[in-house]
Structure 1
Amino acid sequence: MIERSHLEILRAVNQQGSLTAAAESLHLTQSALSHSIRKLEQQLGTDIWVREGRQLRLTQSGQYLLSLANRLLPQMEHAEMLIGQFAKGQRGTLRIGMECHPCYQWLLKVVGPYLESWPGVDVDVKQKFQFGGIGALFGHDIDMLVTPDPLHRPGLVFEPVFDYEQVLVVAEDHALAGKAWAEPEDLEKETLITYPVEIERLDIYTRFLLPAHASPARHKTIETTDIMLQMVAAGRGVAALPRWLVEDYGARIPVRAVQLGEAGIPKQIFLGLRERDREVDYLNSFMKLAREVRWS
Structure 2
Amino acid sequence: MLFDLTDLRLIIQIAELKSLTRAAERMHLSLAAASNRVKEMESRFGVRLLYRENKGVQLSPAGETLLAHAQQFMQQVERMKCDMQEYNNGIKGHIRIYANTTAVTEFMPEVLGDFLARNPHVNVSLEERLNQDIVRAVHEGTADIGIVAGISQAPGLEFLNFATDRLVLVTAPDHPLAGSGPTSFASTLEYEHIGLHEGSTLQHFLNRIVEEHGQQLKVRIHVRSFEAMCRMIVAKVGIGILPQSAASRYAKTMELSMVELLEPWTVRERSVVVQKMGKLPQYARELVDFICTRAPEGVSAVGVDRTSEEKY
TM-score, normalised relative to structure 1: 0.72
Cα distance in 2 for residues equivalent to 1:216 and 1:171: 24
Which runs of structure 2 are paired with 1:126-141 in the superposition (5 Å)? 126-129=127-130, 132-141=133-142
What are the Cα deviations for residues 48-84 of structure 1, in whole angstroms up to 9, with x where unaligned? 669999x985674656534442343224433554466
Give the corresponding residue for 1:2: 2
Which runs of structure 2 are paired with 1:136-285 in the superposition (5 Å)? 136-178=137-179, 181-184=181-184, 187=188, 189-195=190-196, 196=198, 201-202=205-206, 219-220=218-219, 222-224=222-224, 225-261=226-262, 266-275=267-276, 279-285=280-286
Cα distance in 2 for residues equivalent to 1:71 and 1:290: 26
Asked if the contact 1:103/1:146 (under 8 Å) is kept, the reply is no
Give the corresponding residue for 2:306: none
| Deviation of the 1:288 alpha carbon | 1.6
Give the corresponding residue for 1:113: 114
SS at match of 2:141: coil
Between 11-20 and 96-105, the greater mean CA deviation after superposition: 11-20
Return closer, same or farther for 1:129/1:226 CA change in 2, 3 Å cut-off. same
TM-align CA RMSD = 4.5
| Deviation of the 1:154 alpha carbon | 1.4
Asked if the contact 2:207/2:217 (under 8 Å) is kept, the reply is no
Amino acid in structure 2 at the alignment position of 1:19: A
Question: Would you say how many aligned residue pairs link Structure 1 and Structure 2?
Answer: 284
What are the Cα deviations for residues 95-153 of structure 1, in whole angstroms up to 9, with x where unaligned? 11122346522111201001012112111111244652122222322221222212511
Q: Highest Rg: 1 or 2?
A: 1
Cα distance in 1 for residues equivalent to 2:45 and 2:264: 63
Return closer, same or farther for 1:41/1:154 CA change in 2, 3 Å cut-off. closer
Between 83-92 and 1-10, the greater mean CA deviation after superposition: 83-92
Asked if the contact 2:170/2:259 (under 8 Å) is kept, the reply is yes
Give the corresponding residue for 1:17: 22
Amino acid in structure 1 at the alignment position of 2:75: P
Asked if the contact 2:104/2:127 (under 8 Å) is kept, the reply is no
Asked if the contact 1:148/1:270 (under 8 Å) is kept, the reply is yes
Asked if the contact 1:100/1:147 (under 8 Å) is kept, the reply is no
Cα distance in 1 for residues equivalent to 2:167 and 2:194: 14
Amino acid in structure 2 at the alignment position of 1:243: Q
Which runs of structure 2 are paired with 1:276-295 in the superposition (5 Å)? 279-293=280-294, 294-295=296-297
Cα distance in 1 for residues equivalent to 2:73 and 2:264: 47
TM-score, normalised relative to structure 2: 0.69
What are the Cα deviations for residues 226-277 of structure 1, in whole angstroms up to 9, with x where unaligned? 3422332233432222223123222443222233359996543221111266
Asked if the contact 2:152/2:161 (under 8 Å) is kept, the reply is no
Cα distance in 2 for residues equivalent to 1:102 and 1:64: 33
Amino acid in structure 1 at the alignment position of 2:293: E
Asked if the contact 2:93/2:123 (under 8 Å) is kept, the reply is yes
Cα distance in 2 for residues equivalent to 1:131 and 1:252: 34
- Aligned-pair identity (%): 19
Cα distance in 2 for residues equivalent to 1:244 and 1:253: 14
SS at match of 1:228: helix
Amino acid in structure 2 at the alignment position of 1:183: T
SS at match of 2:236: coil
Amino acid in structure 1 at the alignment position of 2:2: I
In structure 1, runs of 5+ residues without a counterpart are none
